[in-house]
Structure 1
Amino acid sequence: MKFVGIVGSSAEQSYNRLLLEYIRKQFKSKFELEILEIDKVPMFNQDDNWADSFQLRLLNNKITRADGVIIATPEHNHTITAALKSVLEWLSYQVHPFESKPVMIVGASYYDQGTSRAQTHLREILDAPGVNAYTLPGNEFLLEKAKEAFDDEGNIISQDTVNFLETCLDNFIKYVEVVSSLKKPKPIAPEDLDANHPIKTTVTEVDPDDPKWVEKVAKITGAVSGDTYVKLDHGILTVDQINMFLKSMPFELTYADDNNQFLYYNNAHQEPETMLAKRIPAQSGSRLSTVHNSLPPARMKNVEWVVGTLRNGNQEFVRTIVPGSPENVVNTHHYQAMYYPDGSYAGINELVFNFKPWLDWYLKETGQRLVGGKMEMMPDVNTGASETPSAEMTPDANTGASEH
């Protein structure tokens, strides 16, 4: 599960931020938590455009895609901060990311009552028209005397407090599971697979379907190559090293941007007949409609559905197994949404691989085998694998994966 945590204070030093950071590291095996700030959100003014604020765009996009939200609120004058109230005003006026979203409230305060009155007020706000969040009932986590509650490493000192926090979070996880089962996906608008809506990085001087697109666009843009260095988020590599890195991946990787233009695949050195998703160099730069022009109309609708589902944020990824593959191949496609720095949709990273060798390796290493749709343990004197509880394997009617 992926949650976002909202720091309900714009202060540089905040015990509510510290509380969320503790939750993130202490319970990382239960869920993934991304902490979001509100310090740069302007005061709500309905005459202004919410999308002018990078931080509001980020909050809207992250909350929309999250499975659940944890808000850590301080208490100022018996209520929430003006900064948090302003954020909730913005996100309930023209956009509504909290609509039917599971929300849990926690809070830390200097005083004995924790943030009880602020939390009560926040519950009322989250229930208001335009917000319409599904706030977890009960489970009030009120961290009092916050100055004395944490040690020097940011850990909560009282084990009883930690245990109660864990109980509340476990209840929230169950609550999210129930609410998510009732969630309806957003309607998918028709997708333009012809790449007719250029984005900031689109090179419009070259026809996307030009078989020499890479060479022509490289010349126009002055694209670097060879031993030229490129600074990445967490490293510096030459273009040659990046190419070697991508070619060495045990997967076929492709990238199509949010204009539905097919920009890259990593196995241009392979013959199409040897690939699970057959690509040729001339396809780089092509419209998605061109790349998939051999598909029947019904299959093209599947392509539109995948793109629309990821663009809408209904899912962060889509996985499928291609039926009709040889017995030793489980042709697996994983379509992963990509995002710009503000959290908006940036395109699709498609990962294609044969799952069968990975499955065979896993079964061998763990001493298991597939029998009648279940993974069962085989005795293994060296590893003691037979002492591990058996795991259920869901049969796949399309692939007959349980038969391999």
Structure 2
Amino acid sequence: MKLVAIVGSNAEQSYNRMLLQFMQRQFKVKCEIELLEIKDVPMFNQDEDRSDCFALRYLYNKITRAQGVIIATPEHNHTITPALKSTLEWLSYKLHPLENKPVMIVGASYYDQGTSRAQVHLRKILEAPGVNAYTLPGNEFLLGRAKEAFDEKGDIINPGTVQFLETCLDNFMKYVEVVSKLQKPKPIEPEDLDCGKPIATTIRGIDPDDPDWLDKAAKQVNAVEGNTYVKLSNGLLTVDQLDMFLNAMPFELTYADDNNQFLYYNNKHQEAATMLGKRVKEQVGNRMRTVHGTLPPARMKNVEWVIGTLRNGNQEYVRTIVPGTPPEIINTHNYQAMYYPDGSYAGINEIIFNFKPWLDWYLEATGQRLVGGNAAPSIPGGKPAAHGADATSGASEAANDSAVTDAISGASES
């Protein structure tokens, strides 16, 4: 489960930040908790709309994609901090990421009562019409005497306190599952599959459907190659090393940017006919509509649905098993959203691989076996693979369909 946790203080030293960091470490097996800071959020002033500033865009995008939100509030003068109040004002002015979002409240303070009064005020704010959050009832975690509550590693000392916190989190995770049934995904707007909205990295002046786009575009922008070094966020590789690294991956990888332009696929020195998602070099740079030019309109809608679903943050990934393959192949596709530094949608990467050898290895290594008779493998949502359409490529619901088409590369298997 993907949760985000808002630090309700803009102070450098915060016991509420320590509380959330402890939860992040202590319960990492249960769920993924990502901390969000409000230090850079401007003071709310409706006369000077700052809804588009980086700090607020970042919070909006992160909260929108999360399944649930945890807010750790201090207590200042019997209420929440001005920084947290200002942030919630912005997030209920023009942006409304907390609407219908499940929220859990925790808090730490210097005194015996924890943050009881601040939490009461925060609940009232979260219930306001402009916020409309679903706040977890009961389960009030009030960490008093915070100075003495943590050890030098930042861990809560009292085992009973940790156990109660875990109980509250478990209840919140159940609450998230219940509330998710009440939530409606954002409506998906029609996708521009013709690359008609150039972005900062769009290379102009060359027809995206030109079969020589890769060479022409590389020449136009003086793209580096060979032994030129590329500094990455966590590494330094030459272009050749980076290319070798990606080509050595035991997966077929593709990438299309947020302008719906197909820009990359790795190739483990295979011919297209031997790949699960068949690709050719001439497709690099293509408009997504061209990539899928042979698809009937109904299947093209499936392509738009997956891109729109990821763009909207309705889901962070879409996974499917393509039906109609031989028994030695479980053709698995994972479509994952990518994000810019401010958390906005940056495109889609696809991982395609045969899951069968991995499954066989796991069963052999652990001495386990599959049970359940002849039931078809299931995909998320409980749909049998043989009856679930490939949402991105528009693969038919018929298990024997021979026109399964990869959503990103668009290379047909027929």
Give the TM-score normalised by the residue count of structure 2: 0.90
| Contact 1:374 1:394 (8 Å CA) reproduced | no
Distance 2:184 2:373 in 1: 30
Equivalent residue for 2:302? 302
- Indicate if the aligned counterparts of 2:248 and 2:268 stay in contact, CA closer than 8 A: no
Moved more, 358-367 or 72-81: 358-367
The 1:374/1:322 distance shift into structure 2, 3 A limit, reads: closer
Aligned position for 1:5: 5
Provide the residue aligned with 1:258 in structure 2: 258
The answer to whether the Cα contact below 8 Å between 1:195 and 1:288 also exists between their aligned partners in 2 is: yes
Cross-structure match for 1:155? 155
The offset of 1:147, in angstroms, is 0.6
Please say if residues 212 and 282 of structure 2, whose CA atoms lie closer than 8 Å, have aligned partners that are also in contact. Answer: yes
Query: Which ranges of structure 1 fall in alignment gaps of 5 or more residues?
Result: 376-392
Quote the residue 2:220 is aligned against.
220
- Residue 199 of structure 1 is matched in structure 2 by 199
Structure 1 residues 301 and 36, CA gap change in structure 2 (3 angstroms): same
Q: Deviations over 1:209-257 (max 9, x none)?
A: 1111111111111111111111111111111110000000011000000
Cα–Cα, structure 1 residues 395 and 20, in superposed 2: closer, same or farther, change >3 Å? same
Q: Distance in 1 between matches of 2:140 and 2:367?
A: 45
1:146 aligns with: 146
Tell me by how many angstroms 1:13 deviates: 0.5
In the TM superposition, residue 326 of structure 1 has moved relative to its aligned partner by 2.0
The secondary structure found in structure 2 opposite 1:333 is strand
How far off is 1:268 after superposition?
7.1
Q: Distance in 1 between matches of 2:257 and 2:105?
A: 37
Does the 8 Å contact 2:51/2:94 carry over to 1?
Answer: no
Change (3 A) 1:204 1:51: farther
Please, which runs of 5 or more residues in structure 2 have no aligned partner? 376-381, 389-397, 400-414
Per the TM alignment, residue 323 of structure 1 is displaced from its structure 2 partner at its CA by: 1.7
Matches within 5 A, 1:86-101: 86-101=86-101
Match of 1:20 in 2: 20
Amino acid at match of 2:352: V
CA distance in 1, matches of 2:28, 2:268: 39
The one-letter code of the counterpart of 1:238 is T
Mapped to 2, the partners of 1:60 and 1:98 lie a distance apart of: 9
Distance 1:198 1:269 in 2: 32
Cα offset for 1:299?
Answer: 1.2
Q: What secondary structure sits across from 1:137 in the alignment?
A: coil
CA contact under 8 A between 2:206 and 2:216: conserved in structure 1? yes
What is the RMSD computed on CA atoms of the aligned residues? Answer: 1.7
Amino acid at match of 2:387: N
Q: Superposition pairs for residues 74-89 of structure 1, below 5 Å?
A: 74-89=74-89
Identity %: 73
Q: How does the TM-score come out when normalised to structure 1? A: 0.92
Query: Which residue of the partner structure matches residue 178 of structure 2?
Result: 178
- 1:374 Cα deviation (Å)? 8.2
CA distance in 1, matches of 2:274, 2:22: 48
Please name the residue that 1:280 is paired with: 280
Encode CA deviations 1:92-114: one digit per residue, 9 max, x unaligned.
11110000000000000001111
Out of 267-276 and 328-337, give the one that drifted further: 267-276
When the two structures are aligned, how many residues end up with a matched partner? 384
* 1:231–1:237 CA contact under 8 A, matched in 2: yes
Is the 1:252–1:266 Cα contact (8 Å) retained in structure 2?
yes
Change (3 A) 1:155 1:374: farther
One-letter amino acid matched to 1:398: H
Given the superposition, is the C-alpha separation of residues 374 and 37 from structure 1 closer, same or farther in structure 2, using an over 3 Å criterion?
farther
1:65, 1:314 within 8 Å by CA — same for their partners in 2?
A: yes
Q: Residue type matched to 2:88 in 1?
A: L
Q: Does the Cα contact within 8 Å between 1:16 and 1:107 map onto a contact in 2?
A: yes
Shift of 1:306: 0.6
* Cα contact 1:268–1:279 (8 A) shared by 2: no
CA positional deviation for 1:267: 1.1
Cα deviation 1:258-285 (Å, max 9, x = unaligned): 0000000001732110111111001111
| Greater Cα shift, 120-129 or 184-193 | 184-193
Q: Does the C-alpha gap of structure 1 residues 282 and 237 become closer, same or farther in structure 2, counting only changes over 3 Å?
A: same
Q: Structure with the greater relative contact order (CA < 8 A, sep ≥ 6): 1 or 2?
A: 2
Aligned counterpart for 1:398 among listed residues 368, 379, 387:
387
* Within-5 A mapping of 1:347-358: 347-358=347-358
Please tell me the residue identity of whatever aligns with 1:112: D
